[in-house]
Structures are given as structure tokens and as C-alpha cells.
Chains A and B, each alone.
Chain A
């Protein structure tokens, strides 16, 4: 791994305050504890873990939507908190899980994709629209939908719009928080293909968060496993999926149904009437 580190976290922690009542002191609930990792330029770093393990909280901190209580996050060699907003937007962009809440229902797809440039105001409107148009076709959407609204397109198409918007600032890193989890399986595969295509075309680095192990195994170069706010194991994807060392990782892998080529589908006895009673 000779590529330079583009994103790094060192001993990042954050906890949420939970009020217990009017007079009792609020309780601090740790969401992420001492998480450290490094992501090299051009790599896909997958983060897996069950619900509530702190994956999305980690994503929020990388996107500066949440300030860590402790630890350091650096981006392109610079402490994350010191980066000016527009420069930050040109380094990192998000793709969120829910394709329904990630697009403003009252804006046309063109306006949604142009948004990051409209905020920065660094492009003339015509230029902005050209770039949006180019990205629109690049993510595989037909131009006739350019002026359509989110309610007129499908979940998979919405996710493509969200990806086009994320690419508007030509960022170096995409933070993908469960980007395929809300989609059905065939559409998931298409979106994953798109991520792989774009990665090569735009020299992108991904932080790819998912609870779906098969998805992460397919796309990630390196994987970090999160459990109860801690990163219990990280390493190359083959190692994590082939020879997991942490018991939680082993449990996680055992709980999934990995695709095993050659193995037939489990036989299900559909003949309920003649089937012998279960012991």
C-alpha cells in the first residue's frame, strides 16, 4: 500500500447524552470508542457491523455532521476540523442510505445535482448545468428525466441521482452509508457496478458502510469490523472474510449466508400434508 493516506481516524470517540428525567443527570452513552483506521488514496474501505454498532455515527463524524468528543480525524493530511467548508466539500461527499429522504422532493433532479455547486457558487450557471448533465448520463440516467422530480423515479434511480450529486464537487472520497441497503437485490448489483465504474473513472476513494457482508466483500479492499462502538478487527478483505480472528467477526460471518457456488439450494419440503411430524 504505497498510496498516500487520504483519510485517517485516530482514537475517535463520541457519546450521546441521554436525559433520564428532569432532575437526574443525563447519562452518557458511548456510540463510538477509540476507533482508528487509515484509508489510502484509491482504496475501498468497508465498515461492517450490526445495527447500533456505530457505523453510521462514524460516517457522520467523517462528514463533519457530528463532532467527535475525542480523537483526531485528518483528511488529505489536514486536521478535519480546520478545513474550510467549500474545500471540505471538494474532498468528501456523502451517499446516504435512504434514497427517499436524500433528495429534496420539491427540487428537480437537475437542481438536486447542481446543489453542491450552487452552494459554493464557484461555477457559472451554464457551466454548472453542463457538469450536472454530464454526471447525469455518467450515472446511467436518461436525459429525459433531467428536469423530473424525485417522486417520478424509482429508488435505484434516486440513488443514482444522489451519486451524481456527490460527484458534482469532484471529491476525492465518497462516504457511502448503506448506499444499497434500501434497494432490492438486482438494483443493488447495478448500483455496486456503478460504484466500481466510477471509482476507476474519477479516481475515487470509498468508505463503504454496510451491514450486508456480501456487498462489502464484493467491493471492499480492506474491511473494518465494528462491534458496540469499537473497531474490533480490520484488515484486507480476504483476510477478514477468509480467516477472521475476532470472535465477533466469526459470529457475524456465520450469521450470514455466504454464496457458495456449486452448493444447491436448501431442499424445502413443500408437501406439508404428507411430511412426517417434526420430532
Chain B
């Protein structure tokens, strides 16, 4: 009854690399947990207006420094209390997710594009081109990036856009180094020669033949860089050089709360935990992605 000719057999006996990776991803704790937390953060950021119980920048000077609900004097009206200007802390925390994610993702994307492009060019062409790009990378590596960011933002003036631009233009080195090395190795492959004989241009080969083979490296670095950007945003905001004052940012919240560190420690540790969880989640996802993108054959 059933057709058993070879052509009717189920597609290949082994799953495709893509499905294999997906399956491995869903079995990996780090990917599931880290990815889950990040998805949660994205949802919180997207639906901040619906989730936040109050306006994050509305001041209420009569209700300043109210403790969170689990401490004496706390009320369910302000679950995490209020800050020194009487702003609802939970709302600020929820809106702070937006700044954190916007900075993290934009810096990751901007530096990713710069770094991978340079890496592709250096790795593909090699020789003199590689020397020039390596020189640029080395120059960049000798600069203390956070200090430079600090100095630049101090000069230009802090805002979300400047912060993203400055960090994006500084944090591309790791992408460039890794992509360059991977590309230089892949270019040796005969499938690249086959594409060259077919008349393919350098951009065509880089996009169609090389890119699919380095994307997993890029993804892993992207997560590390995003964590780095989130931390840097918090640091810069803490130093008063990040997002300007009324905007809710976790780093800024810690900075504003540190005056009350001994009397009201929760003003510092609540946003501290938020930063910690965000960076932890991104790193777990990154480590997980690195594990599952190991050479084929490892299940």
C-alpha cells in the first residue's frame, strides 16, 4: 500500500543543521533561562505604560522615600516605595528596562555592523588590506574604551543618542577580530573558490558563502557586547554622563539612591538587582549560544 521507493522516504535521516541547532538550543538551560529572561525584559519594556502603576517622572514631594511594601511603613500603593522625589520606584524600574534594552541592542547592532564589516574585509582580502584593518583594530584596542566614552560624552553632552553613538563606535573591536579570523579561514575553503570561478563578486561571496558560516560567532560576541553596553550605560548614567536626569535609568537610579545608601539601601540594591539579572541573562544566553554552535557532531 505505502510507497516505499527511495524518493518517497522521509527527507534525510538526519535533521538539517538549522533544526539541529534549534533542538540543541531548546535543550540548553542557559539558552532557555537567559533567553526567557530577555524576552521577559523585552515584553516589560514594550508594555511599560500598561505595567507601570504610576508615571515614572511624576514627583510627589509629600510622599518621598516611602519604603517598599515588605518594610514597615510600606503600602501596596507603591510596591517598591518611592525615591527622594516621591517618584514610584517600581514604575521607574519598569521604564528603566527600556533605556537598558535600547542602549544594549542599539550599541550591539551599531558596533556589530562596523566590526563584522571590517572583519569581513580584512579576512576576505588579506594582504595589505588586512594590514590596514589590523592597524585600525590595534589602534582601537590600545584605547581604554570606557574612559574615551566618558571623555567624549563629557565633551559632547550626555543623551541617549550620543551614548549609543559613542559606545557603538567604540565597542566593535571584538567583532572585527573574531570575524576576521573566521573569514580568513573560511576563504581558504574550496566552496569559496567555486563561487569565484562562477564569477561571484567579493560582496556576493561574503554575503552568501561566508556570512552563514560566521554568524554563530557574531551572535555569541553580540550577547557579550550587549551585556557590556548595558553595564556601560549604567556606569555612565551613574556618573551623571549617561541619560539626562528625569529619564528613568537603572544606573541613574543607583546614582540618585547612593546618598541614602545607609538609611534606605533598597534604593540601590533594587536597580542593582535589575542590572545584575539583565547582564546575567544576556551572558547565559551568550554562553548557551556558544555551546550549541560548536562544530557539528556535538549534540
Residues of chain A having any CB pair with chain B under 8 Å: 63-65, 85-86, 88-89, 92-94, 96-98, 101-108, 112, 115-116, 118-120, 142-145, 147-149, 151-152, 162, 165-166, 169
Cα-based distance from A102 to B198 in the complex (angstroms): 13
Q: Report if B72 contacts A (CB, 8 A).
A: no
Q: Report if B62 contacts A (CB, 8 A).
A: no
Query: Do B12 and A102 touch across chains, with their CB atoms under 8 A apart?
Result: no
Contact flags B173-212 to A (C-beta < 8 A → 1, else 0):
0000000000000001111011111111000100011001
Query: Do B199 and A104 touch across chains, with their CB atoms under 8 A apart?
Result: no
Output the residue of B8, B13, B194 with the most chain A CB within 10 A.
B194
Nearest-Cβ distance from residue A72 to partner chain B, whole angstroms? 20
Contact pick for A94, options B17, B194, B200, B213, CB 8 Å? B194
Q: Within 8 Å CB of A166, what residues of B?
A: 194
Q: Report if B142 contacts A (CB, 8 A).
A: no
Q: Within 8 Å CB of A88, what residues of B?
A: 197, 199
Q: Report if B50 contacts A (CB, 8 A).
A: no
Q: Within 8 Å CB of B198, what residues of A?
A: 89, 93, 115-116, 119-120, 169
Query: Do B212 and A107 touch across chains, with their CB atoms under 8 A apart?
Result: yes
Cα-based distance from A147 to B7 in the complex (angstroms): 12
Query: Do B17 and A102 touch across chains, with their CB atoms under 8 A apart?
Result: no
Query: Do B194 and A165 touch across chains, with their CB atoms under 8 A apart?
Result: yes
Contact flags B206-229 to A (C-beta < 8 A → 1, else 0):
001100110000000000000000
Minimal Cβ-Cβ distance residue in A for B215:
A106
Nearest-Cβ distance from residue B4 to partner chain A, whole angstroms? 12
A144/B6 contact (C-beta < 8 A), A89-B197, A98-B190, A116-B198 known: yes
Query: Do B191 and A151 touch across chains, with their CB atoms under 8 A apart?
Result: no
Q: Within 8 Å CB of A102, what residues of B?
A: 189-191, 194
Query: Do B195 and A106 touch across chains, with their CB atoms under 8 A apart?
Result: no
Minimal Cβ-Cβ distance residue in B for A146:
B11
Query: Do A148 and B191 touch across chains, with their CB atoms under 8 A apart?
Result: no
Cα-based distance from A93 to B197 in the complex (angstroms): 7
Q: Within 8 Å CB of B197, what residues of A?
A: 63-65, 88-89, 92-94
A-B CB contact pairs (8 Å), 20 listed = A64-B196, A64-B197, A65-B196, A88-B199, A89-B198, A93-B197, A94-B190, A94-B193, A101-B188, A101-B191, A102-B190, A102-B194, A106-B213, A115-B195, A115-B208, A144-B8, A144-B11, A148-B16, A149-B17, A151-B17
Cα-based distance from A88 to B197 in the complex (angstroms): 8
Interface extent on B, as a size class?
20 to 34
Minimal Cβ-Cβ distance residue in A for B9:
A144
Minimal Cβ-Cβ distance residue in A for B12:
A148
Cα-based distance from A88 to B208 in the complex (angstroms): 21
Query: Do A148 and B199 touch across chains, with their CB atoms under 8 A apart?
Result: no
Q: Within 8 Å CB of B296, what residues of A?
A: 105, 151
A105/B190 contact (C-beta < 8 A), A85-B199, A119-B195 known: no
Count of inter-chain pairs, beta carbons less than 8 A: 97
Q: Within 8 Å CB of B8, what residues of A?
A: 144
Q: Closest 6 interchain pairs by CB?
A: A85-B199, A102-B190, A106-B212, A116-B198, A96-B190, A148-B12
Cα-based distance from A112 to B209 in the complex (angstroms): 10
Q: Report if B3 contacts A (CB, 8 A).
A: no
Q: Within 8 Å CB of B9, what residues of A?
A: 144
Cα-based distance from A102 to B195 in the complex (angstroms): 10
Cα-based distance from A108 to B8 in the complex (angstroms): 19
Q: Within 8 Å CB of A118, what residues of B?
A: 208
* Known A63-B193, A148-B11; 9 more pairs at CB < 8 Å: A65-B193, A93-B197, A104-B191, A115-B195, A116-B198, A143-B7, A144-B6, A145-B12, A149-B17
Nearest-Cβ distance from residue B7 to partner chain A, whole angstroms? 5
Output the residue of B7, B9, B12 with the most chain A CB within 10 A.
B12
Q: Within 8 Å CB of B6, what residues of A?
A: 142, 144
Query: Do B13 and A104 touch across chains, with their CB atoms under 8 A apart?
Result: no
Q: Within 8 Å CB of B199, what residues of A?
A: 85-86, 88-89, 116, 119-120
Minimal Cβ-Cβ distance residue in A for B297:
A151
Query: Could you tell me which residues of chain B, from 1 to 29, have a CB within 8 Å of some CB in chain A?
Result: 6-14, 16-17
